[in-house]
Structure 1
Amino acid sequence: MNIEKARFNMIEQQIRPWNVLNQEVLDMLIVVKREDYFPAEQKSLAFFDTELPLPDGSKAMTPKLEARILQELVLKKQENVLLIGAGTGYLAALLAYRGRHVTVLESSKVLHELATNNLHRNHVSNVDVVLADAFSDKNTGAYDAIVIAGGLEQLPEHLQQQLNVGGRLLAFVGQLPAMTAQLFTRTSATAVSKQNLFETVVEAAAGAKPVSHFSL
């Protein structure tokens, strides 16, 4: 398999047609090598438009969705990022390439270990992977960008409160069969705006609390 040809095809046939046109993002996909975050038996599949299975039973995001997240966030080099959901560590590596520091909260011990090992092996030093329940309101912090790498029925308020002024939070909100990628921006100390970006389907975020639909 010609790895670089596969990477070129991934960018030109999957990612660019999905409205990812920011050249800095496209160039980053060449530098931060996706196949290095998957085991040998999956390396040739890492460029496919598919959700590859992870060892805990969940699935990795598709390449085009990862790229779209990067484009929508418009990260700056001085910004600190919170990522909820480690996956293989690849999305954290992309965010770390663009930002100052990335904190990853992951509730699965298997994925915590996988992402930590992958990031270490690829010499990514500005990421901390923390074994924690991201949806517990005991977690606090102040971030310039937050990414929730999984679907939510409703965005918890305490996550919005962790945004600095000017900070952006990208989440996939809704229920199957349709979810909406939404970008929340803190415009002041007391106000947050919301923008609907595009529709998609992603796996539910591990640990996310379902919305009660019971009524009297």
Structure 2
Amino acid sequence: MTDAGSAATLDTTDYALFRSNMIEQQIRPWDVLDPRVLDVLGGLWRHHFVAPDQQRLAYADMELPLGHGEHMLAPKVEGRLLQALAPQANETVLEIGTGSGYLTACLALLAAQVDSVDNVAEFKHRARGQLTALGLLDRVELRTGDAAHGWDHQRSQYDVIVVSGSLPKLEMAQPFEQLLAVGGRMFAVIGTAPAMHAMLITRSGEQAFNRTGLFETVLDPLRGLHAPAVFRL
């Protein structure tokens, strides 16, 4: 291991132990038992997606700062949302908030195609490097855009949508819901600190949506979101 800073004294064996402990002590106890999800989380090096001075903490039960006021989701939250959404090998995914690119990689390993948008260009460039190294860039399209206020998204509908920043009010999820195909699923966190609720939203018909509470958590707000989002098709 040649990473700079505090990670320099750690080797692959150390990180393999950290990753195993993450699965057994954080993710499984949070009722993440889907074999496909566990295989993906157990096969990716999470520390490759964070800055060198954060790599020792990459497998810890915490959010990690990414810069620009944003954070990487905690591992157990990533596990629960992947299990709830259950992306399939023939499905397309929209990810709102590329961030570190780690969740993007997980989604790309589970689905056919991932379109990911972030309004921080630096995040897109960092993620592109890791996704290229993993051979996943042919399944991912990365864009810089402001999901809170509209961007020229690639498709009119998606099977799976992940909103990785919280939405203060449920009605703010509606523009994203309209991008779901019938039978599609969306993960979103609704509310304001300290009371936020992760939710699975399933489109059961053209104008019918089922909304199921998953767990309580606190996430950074979707960047730039101060009013209900408006999208261009």
Question: TM-score scaled by structure 1?
Answer: 0.92
Q: Deviations over 1:29-87 (max 9, x none)?
A: 12122122123222221111111111323111111111111100011100000000011
Mapping of residues 136-175 of structure 1, within 5 Å:
136-137=149-150, 139-140=152-153, 141-154=156-169, 155-175=172-192
Which of 86, 108, 130 is equivalent to 2:143? 130
Q: Deviations over 1:104-144 (max 9, x none)?
A: 01011222222222222332121111001112345452100
* Alignment: residue pair count: 211
Which of 97, 111, 117 is equivalent to 1:99? 111
Question: What is the match of residue 25 of structure 1?
Answer: 37
Identity of aligned residues (%): 38
Partners of 1:145 and 1:9 lie apart in 2 by: 29
Conserved in 2, the CA contact under 8 Å of 1:55 and 1:111? no
1:189 aligns with 2:201: no
Partners of 1:150 and 1:57 lie apart in 2 by: 12
Three-state SS of the structure 1 residue aligned to 2:78 is helix
1:90 aligns with 2:90: no
Partners of 1:127 and 1:159 lie apart in 2 by: 19
Partners of 2:89 and 2:36 lie apart in 1 by: 13
List runs of 5+ in structure 1 lacking aligned partners.
Answer: 212-216
Conserved in 1, the CA contact under 8 Å of 2:196 and 2:218? yes
1:45 aligns with 2:62: no
Q: Is the helix fraction higher in 1 or 2?
A: 2
Question: What is the match of residue 177 of structure 1?
Answer: 194
Q: 1:134 is aligned with what amino acid?
A: A
List runs of 5+ in structure 2 lacking aligned partners.
Answer: 1-9, 229-233
Question: What is the match of residue 214 of structure 1?
Answer: none
> How far has the Cα of 1:19 moved from its partner?
1.5
